[in-house]
Amino acid sequence: MNRTNLLRVAFALAASFLAACNGDTPGSSPVPSQDQVARESAAALFARDNRAQALSALQPLIERKDARASDLIDAACIQLRMADTKAAAKLLERAAPQSQSDPRYFYNRGRVAKYELDFVGAARDFRRVLELAPTDLPTRFKLIDSLETSDPAEYERLLREVTARGIENAGSWYLPAIYKLGLQCMRTEREAEGERLLNEHQDLRRRGVPSPTDDDFDMGNFGRIAFPRPAGSGLSGTGSMPTFKPPQKILPEFGGASGLRACDLDNDGDLDLVGWGAKGLFVGLRAKDGTWSARQLASGPVDIALAFELDGAKGDNVLDFVCTSGTQLTLLRSSREGETVSWKTSDKRLPLLACPAKDALALDYDHEGDLDLLFVGATGCTLLRNDGLASADPKGTLTDTTDEARLPRGRAFDWCVSEDFDTDQDVDVLLGSASGHFLASNLRGGVFADESRKLGDFVASTHAPVVADLDADGRPDLWTGDGKFLRAQLDGTWRDDGKV
């Protein structure tokens, strides 16, 4: 068994051990399996905008006299997307007795009021949501829109609260805030400020920073259906070893590859393969009948490749690529025509890396809504901010912000892992190699701080640790390849709990 499979088996055993220590007994959940399946189906169907089917999945649950408030609110969310405000209102009325501290209840009741042009009632409900969830920006915009004509002073005050957060904290919601505030300034004869805000908005759009979609404005965070918490699995009698079909040789073009990733490149629900190495970059697409077809996207040596969706607004859901060869970067843009997907090398000029890459990440470190890129290698890391790479503007590219982000140069790193290590709702990064590690805590504003000391007795190796919430306490733990478990603590440090 190779090292990767050994790690997977050991990780599974460790997770089982920790769950047992934490008192999580398999099968102890009181949720009936058919209810769990109904809720999971409704969430999946709603996410794909299959509204009628999602409502049908929930129907047995909401027909009960003692229906859960959460199920009733989920059904109301679906009815609102189907423009049936009366049905949504009835469902919310049934949920009301159990929902006086639930922001989802008041958010969707506010949506009903707004659709029925009751802006006073809508504003009242959205204010209640903000009492329960003060940092929720979509709700703040719901309130802002409800006050535009009735209370211009409050409308402007709320917009300034959002713009004061800056794009690093407000993310994509910063764009509509400065746009609306700019228009308000122009309407009230403050042309200089209005022009400055509108120019800033135009510049951010030119850089490819995304704005919230119409669905984001409508559903926000509380008008969607979340997947239910896992209910656990019960014992089902004596198990048996799985059986496997004879191995099948596929994709000979991938022979000699030094790297391999599995991901759904064309959004058809099946995992495809990406391989790279001395011969170039290849993709293996899996058809519905299970057959594979290979394509070569780039020739010549490729050290590493990242597959990610560069421009979600494009709407084709096909992943793009950035690959490295030495210190050179190449961007390959995707396109879809019907069922056919293809990739074409971009002619945009990209910056050089500090050294050949050993690992890479796509992450939104500055919280602007687009993906930035991080590469690590023998002489440190290179952080590249996305400044409109997805746009047609030839000036839209990647900008090296390693130094201003305060990430280390001159140190060897073999791997990088992204996680919200300090659970403060932003993107932190752990870099490591056999010679040491660096925990970069995101301070917002495009800057990181060195918090490596908080990892205590963690000893990095040439292989990245497993980072996951292994003890179900809401904080990310670390499990190393040699079996050592570091448990996250309330004070933001990690404690060495030995080998498991």
Which residue from 256, 281, 286 is spatially nearest to 268, judged by alpha carbons? 286
Q: Where in the chain is the domain with CATH 2.130.10.10?
A: 252-499
Neighbours of 141 (CB within 10 A): 22
Which residue from 372, 252, 355 is spatially nearest to 306, judged by alpha carbons? 372
pLDDT in tens, 62-96: 999 999 999 999 999 999 999 999 999 999 999 99
Residue 25: what pLDDT?
A: 38
Q: Where in the chain is the domain with CATH 1.25.40.10?
A: 33-219
Residue 394: what pLDDT?
A: 75
Which residue from 321, 433, 299 is spatially nearest to 373, judged by alpha carbons? 321
Residues of the chain with pLDDT under 70: 1-29, 231-237, 312-315, 500
Q: Order of strands across the sheet with 259-263?
A: 259-263, 272-277, 280-286, 292-299
Residue 339: what pLDDT?
A: 84
Element (H, E) at 153: helix 152-164
Question: 252-499, what's its fold?
Answer: Methylamine Dehydrogenase; Chain H (2.130.10)
Element (H, E) at 162: helix 152-164
Residue 121: what pLDDT?
A: 95
Residue 356 structure tokens: 């050949």
- CATH architecture, range 33-219: Alpha Horseshoe (1.25)
d(CA 485, CA 187): 60
Asked if 21 and 2 count as a contact pair (C-beta separation under 8 A), the reply is no
Residue 459: what pLDDT?
A: 85
Residue 472: what pLDDT?
A: 81
DSSP 437-474: EEEEEE-STT-EEE-GGGGTT----SSPPEEE-TTSSS
Residues 6+ apart with CB under 8 A from 197: 163, 178, 179, 181, 182, 185
